[in-house]
Chain A
Amino acid sequence: MGEILVKNKDIVVPGEELASGMDFLPSFGTYRDKDKILASRLGLVSIDGKIIRIIPLSGKYNPRRGDTIIGKIEDVSYSGWRVDTNSAYPAMLSMKDATSEFIQRGSDLTQYFDLDDYVVAKIINVTSQKLIDLTTRGPGLRKLTGGRVIEVNTNKVPRIIGKQGSMVHMIKQATDCKIVVGQNGLLWILGEPKSELIAIEAIRKIENESHLSGLTERIKDFLEKATGRKIEEKMAEKGEQNGLS
């Protein structure tokens, strides 16, 4: 008979036994050795029915198809751009995926994206060798001008976004900043310099305290104190239901 040896949301270290018996299935961050399921990463245990997985607390961004990321143009080539993705691998943004405009053969590509420009892009494909293709054609995908880019722990991005975007919406509302959150841990913020700083401070607070309960409430208090503005109750309630998953 199978048996779970840890509690949900326990912190586990690599090599720790999570379950015994064949009744459970190892998922992300775990592996099976004979009749045992073991952790292969540092993180929080998540038991969902028969499936055991680990929610990592640290680690670099692992590019996945469909993710929206913020990238920095590293190089401009003949037929596209190379983009730094804040992961171990650079991505390619080809000419035809960059814009719906017609680009004359051999024309200067820097008029679209120049070196050191930041772009919001979507990952179209990742191969087994981690060659990444990006697109900037789609709603919300564009070049970022002005503002500032900050880096956060990629594993905390879901908490910064909140359930259905509630957390980031709250920050936007309180500070009047435009914010774009990339799955790769880069965030772009544009607003009044003072409110940009408040937004950054709020994001750092989320990053550091994301595994404490009552997070939304504390962020709300912080934002209200910092901006001197009242935040609607409805928003805060919605955020409180945030699961870690």
Chain B
Amino acid sequence: MAYPKRLDGRKFNETREIEAKAGVIKRADGSAMFRIGKTVAYAAVYGPRNLYPKFLQNPREGIVRVNYAMMPFSSKGERVRPGPSRRSKEISMVTEKALLPVLHLEEFPNAVVDVFIELPQTDAGTRCAGICAASIALADAGIPMKDLVAAVSVGRVDEQVLVDLNYDEEAFDGKVADVPLAVVQRTGHISLLQMDGEIEKGQLINAIKLGQETLKKVFEAQKKALKEKYHTEGGEE
């Protein structure tokens, strides 16, 4: 079975429609919404704030805690059991590791920055949407950071290398690989690379290249979201 045309009619290097907004949760220190197609992620950042229990404190630099959660109604009709699961714990951990390289945490020893990622609606690519939202929210919270991080999933469906798989493509009956990829904007360094499925070396290299190219668009959306917050609130600078 070949895959000559995508199920939703996109080009192979085309992402779903992206929408990003900063400052959506007023009580949080920083927040963001990131939507890619039917996947929606909200991120709220609190802190730097006091960290207890005390044994978690690190006197050399602050720590980041990420909590990723899918809302119970976010899936395709099946209720997602709330609370930590094996899957959500792993995603929380890899998200934290994806964001860490850009954060300047040495400015607040013994403190913590909490990042909460919630997904009210999902259609594959949730951890990538979560990372994109968290990156905007951290910048919005005024956390010192070297750069922005964005993520997109790449992969293959049958023999075709493509970006931003949706759920139908992940469930394609044939050879499928889903590779979530997070990249630091300026340096192009990869801070998250996972894979589900099977892929050949050449395809993987092509997929990553394609992903890095595609992420430029995502970075633009992130920057626009951050700048827009102050333009709409204030009009002029």
By a beta-carbon cutoff of 8 Å, the part of chain A in contact with chain B is 9-11, 13-16, 29, 31, 33, 38, 40-44, 56-60, 62, 88-90, 128-130, 155, 208-209, 211-213
Contact = CB atoms under 8 A, between A and B. Distances in A.
B133 interface: no
Nearest to B146: A40
B230 interface: yes
B49 A60 contact: yes
A40 B142 contact: no
A38 B107 CA distance: 18
**Which label, helix, strand, loop or mixed, suits the secondary structure of the A interface?**
loop
A57 B142 contact: yes
Residue with the highest number of chain B CB atoms closer than 10 Å, among A31, A38, A57, A60 = A60
A130 B108 CA distance: 8
Residue with the highest number of chain B CB atoms closer than 10 Å, among A29, A58, A212 = A58
A13 B223 contact: yes
Contact of A29 (B29, B111, B144): B144
Interface of B: 29-30, 47-50, 59, 62, 102, 104, 107-111, 139-148, 185-186, 222-223, 226-227, 230-231, 233-237
Given A38-B186, A212-B234, A13 B111 contact: no
Given A11-B230, A42-B139, A58-B142, 6 more contacts: A38-B147, A40-B146, A41-B139, A42-B142, A211-B230, A211-B233
A211 B227 CA distance: 13
B142 A41 contact: yes
22 contacts: A11-B230, A11-B231, A13-B222, A14-B139, A15-B102, A15-B147, A15-B148, A40-B104, A41-B144, A44-B237, A58-B29, A58-B30, A58-B140, A59-B142, A62-B107, A88-B47, A88-B110, A129-B109, A130-B109, A130-B111, A211-B236, A212-B236
